[in-house]
Structure 1
Amino acid sequence: MKIVRLLLLIGLSGLLFGCASGAKVENMAYTEVRHQFDTALEANIGVKDVSGRTETNPLWTSEISNDAFRQAVRDSLSSQGLLAEQGNYDLMIQLIEVNQPIMGFDLTVTTHIRYVLTDKTRNTVVMDEMIITPHTATMEDAFAAIKRLRLANEGAARKNIESLLDKLSQLQIAPSTVSLVE
C-alpha cells in the first residue's frame, strides 16, 4: 500500500510540476522592432560559434542550449536583414553564465553573454561586448515553477539578443581603403 501511495504521489507531482524542458527558440528570438544598421552589416553577418551551455536534463532544470541559442540569434539577425551564410563578418557567441534561482515565486534569470564580431576580410575585431540581462517570470506567467524558470530563461535570452541588436545598430563600419599598387 505504501508503494502505491508513493507512486501516486510521484505521478501527481509529475502532473503538477512537469519535467524540465529547454528554452524554446521562438521565445528567445527577437523579431519585433526593426533597427537601422550600417549598410556594411546588411546581409553580411554569419553566426560562427556558440559555446558555454549544455542541453536540458528533463529531471533537473530548464537550460538554454547552444544550438537553441544559435538558432534564436540566427532568426533575430535574419528578421533584421543581417544574416548571411557566408558574410564578411563572423559572430562568435559565448554563454558565460546563466544565473538561475533554486526556488521562489518570482524567478529571475540573468544571462551573461559575450559577443565577438570579427571582420573576416581585415581579420579585425569590430565589436567585443559582454551583455548582461535579467528577466523575471512571475506566478501570473505560470503556476508551475519549472515552466516559470523556462519562461525566465527565454525572457533573459530574448532581452540579451535585443541588446545585441541595439549594439550592432550603433556600429559605424569604416569603409576599407583601396589603393592601386604600381
Structure 2
Amino acid sequence: MIYQGEQKTYPKELKDNLEVSSVSGGEKTNPAWTSEIDNDAFSAAVKKSLSSQGLLSESGKYQLEVKMLKVDQPLFGFDMTVTTHVQYTLTDKTNNVTVLNETIVAPYTATVSDAFSGIKRLRLANEGSGKKNITGLLEKLSKLNISSHQISVSVK
C-alpha cells in the first residue's frame, strides 16, 4: 500500500513537520473469512509514504489523524473492486486550526489476470485501493497553500 511514485512538491511548512497521531477504523483479517485492511498495516503504509516524501516527523507542527470510514468489498466475483473511504484531518498543533479535513474515496479493481484465487484477488484489491487512497492524500497535501495568514487548497 506504500506510495512509491515520483517525489511531489509540498509547501515548505510541511517538510519534516507532519506527525501521524492516530489511524483508526480498520479491521483485522479473519483467515476464515475475508481479507481486510487493519489499522497497523494502513498506519505503516501512510507513515512510510509520508517519510518517502520528506514529510514525516515524530513530533511535527502538523498532526494527521486518519480514520478509515468504510471499505466496500465484494464477497465474490471475477473482477473484484474494493473502495476505501478514508478521512484525513490535518491540524496545526500550535493553534489547533484544521488545515485539511478531507475524505478520499479510492476504488481499485483486481482481475482474474492479476490472481486466479479469489482470496488473493481481494487482497490485491484491498492493497491497491489503500495505495490509491494514500496517493490521493499526497496529492491533496501537495496542493495545500499554507502561510501565516491563510490556509487553502489551490485548484490547478
| TM-score normalized with structure 1 length | 0.81
CA contact (8 A) 1:112 1:131 kept: yes
Name the residue aligned to 1:141.
114
Structure 1 residue runs without a partner (length 5+): 1-27, 177-182
Aligned AA (1:98): V
Name the residue aligned to 1:34.
7
2:85 maps to which of 105, 112, 125 = 112
CA contact (8 A) 1:109 1:134 kept: yes
Matches within 5 A, 1:22-171: 28-171=1-144
Q: Residue 172 of structure 1 aligns to a residue in which SS?
A: strand
CA–CA distance in 2 between the matches of 1:110 and 1:54?
15
Structure 2 residue runs without a partner (length 5+): 150-156
Larger strand proportion, structure 1 or 2?
2
Highest CA radius of gyration, 1 or 2?
A: 1
**How big is each residue's C-alpha offset from its partner over 1:112-171, in whole Å with a ceiling of 9 and x where there is no partner?**
000000000111100000000100000010000000000000000000000000000000
- Alignment RMSD: 1.1
Name the residue aligned to 2:152.
none
Name the count of aligned residue pairs. 150
Q: Report the identity percentage.
A: 55
Larger helix proportion, structure 1 or 2?
1
Deviation at 1:174, TM superposition (A): 1.1
CA contact (8 A) 1:100 1:109 kept: yes
| TM-score normalized with structure 2 length | 0.94
CA–CA distance in 2 between the matches of 1:123 and 1:100?
35
